[in-house]
Amino acid sequence: MKLWKKILLILFAVFLLAQIPFIYNRWKFGRLHDKITQLQARETEKLNSNFNDYKGVIHVHTAIGGHSTGSFDELIDGAAKNNLDFVVMTEHTAALYDTSALTLQGNVSGVLFVNGQEVETATDRFLLVPGSADAGVMNRVATPDFLNTIHAQNKLAFITYPEKHKIWDADFDGIEVFSLHTNAKRMSPFFVLFDALWSYYSYPELVLAKYFYRPDANLQKFDEITEKRKSTLFAGTDAHSNIGFHLLGDDAGNKIINLKIDRYATIFRAMRNHVLIENDKPLTTENLLQALKNGRVFVGLDVLSDTKGFTFTAENGAETKTMGDKIALTENSNLIIAAPQTARFVIFKNGEKLYEETGAAQIKISVKEKGTYRAEVYLDALGEPFDKMPWIISNPIYVR
């Protein structure tokens, strides 16, 4: 046998051997899927007597902003397939026209679409909701001036890409503590490629979730901020629907072979935001944005199990408050956390771990000190990495 043939055979054998871990991972994804199915079968329905729980996604792009190939039809279909209640679109800005005016707005196929923008100031980047016709020229404006301007117009500004943010001493409304797009940059292309080769077709969301990391630095920064003042955390999909390839096609979107990894329908099944709105109020743009501003929202890694029904409240005998609220410290102050699954609960006070309990669906602890309290919930039963990546991340309750 010629030398080059021997080399090819050796390389082929090495390639086959290298696939063994990923074939094994394919089996593990199947086992994980079965465990999740069993967990969901044991879910306990928890109803919030004061609020309705609306699930949706924040930070979504389409072809309007120039960084995506996603169409409105694909976006609407992806939201409808996932039974989302709302989608906050945040198109990139343009200097000559208002991108937010071109997005979907209002109720479309049973989903509330909100028109926002991803805006750059002279130093920082924000998600502006609703969008503005002037957003395209804000890159010449200092962050404090930008925030003063948009707040005068009753708009909200949330920090996106906090790891790059510069001006923290400013009146922003919240922080995107987790971003699927930013998280994807931490993934190993080699391992993701071969996991995807063997498992993505059957378990696309689980393949992605396997590589999710707890946003330690962003949560630490958020905790530092909320120790002093109120703010809101949430997760962003930063969905672009633009990763993949196609062979042969035309500008009308007709493609003979079209493989897209980050379809909206896939991305929207992974990480969601659950917004709580008072029972006597409908889901409207105004009520949704008010709830986000108030911090009545929690992050749910819903691909592991539906997080609807999670509650985090505080009581002091005379009154009961929920996420985003302030409550007075008394001798009878308690925190109560409930989830639709038996899980591990972790409570943080001013960013420091205060209490932890495993194997419960609800916990209640006494509060003895003033502070900012936040909860995380973990599904340890699913094994790594979900013993480190939270299933649920709450917004704080402020005990003052």
The CB density around residue 377, as the number of other CB atoms within 10 Å, is 24
pLDDT digits (tens, 9 = 90+) for 90-146: 999 998 899 999 999 999 999 999 999 999 999 999 999 999 999 999 999 999 999
pLDDT for 17 equals 76
Average pLDDT over residues 332-355: 96
Percentage with pLDDT > 70 across the chain: 94
Lowest mean pLDDT among 11-20, 52-61, 142-151, 362-371: 11-20
Using alpha carbons only, give the angle 358, 317, 327 rounded to the nearest 5 degrees.
80
Q: What pLDDT is attached to residue 262?
A: 81
- Of residues 10 and 182, more confidently modeled: 182
Give the pLDDT mean for 10-38.
Answer: 84
Q: Looking at residue 347, what is its pLDDT?
A: 98
Of 1 and 252, more confident: 1
Residue 5 has pLDDT above 90, yes or no: no
DSSP state of 197: I
Q: Provide the total of helices (H) and of strands (E) in the chain, helices listed first.
A: 10, 20
- Percentage, residues of the chain above pLDDT 90: 75
pLDDT of the residue at 285: 98
Instruction: Specify the pLDDT at position 187.
Output: 78
Residue 252 has pLDDT above 70, yes or no: no
Rounded to 5°, angle at Cα 292 from 220 and 303: 70
Burial of 265 (0-12, 13-18, 19+ CB in 10 A): middle
- Sorting pLDDT into bands at 50, 70 and 90, what band is 243? low
What's the pLDDT score for residue 249?
Answer: 61
pLDDT of residue 303: 95
pLDDT at 353 > cutoff 90? yes
Block residue for tokens 């969601």: 272
Looking at residue 47, its pLDDT comes to: 65
Q: Dihedral angle at the C-alpha atoms of 390, 395, 399, 400, nearest 10 degrees?
A: 140
Structure tokens belonging to residue 96: 């000559």
pLDDT in tens, 31-73: 999 999 988 887 776 667 789 999 999 999 999 877 788 899 9
pLDDT in tens, 193-238: 888 888 988 999 999 999 999 999 999 999 999 999 999 999 999 9
- Give the CB-side neighbour count of residue 54, counting CA atoms within 13 A: 28
Question: Which range has the top average pLDDT, 19-28, 38-47, 92-101, 366-375?
Answer: 366-375
CA quadruple 315, 328, 356, 52: dihedral sign:
positive
Looking at residue 190, its pLDDT comes to 80
pLDDT of residue 162: 97
Distance (Å, whole) CA 115 – CA 121 = 19
pLDDT at residue number 201 = 86
- The residue written with tokens 């989903």 in the block is 111
Averaged over 374-400, what is the pLDDT? 96
Confidence (pLDDT) at 397: 98
The top-scoring range by mean pLDDT among 16-25, 80-89, 175-184 is: 80-89
Distance in angstroms (rounded) separating the CA atoms of residues 167 and 178: 19
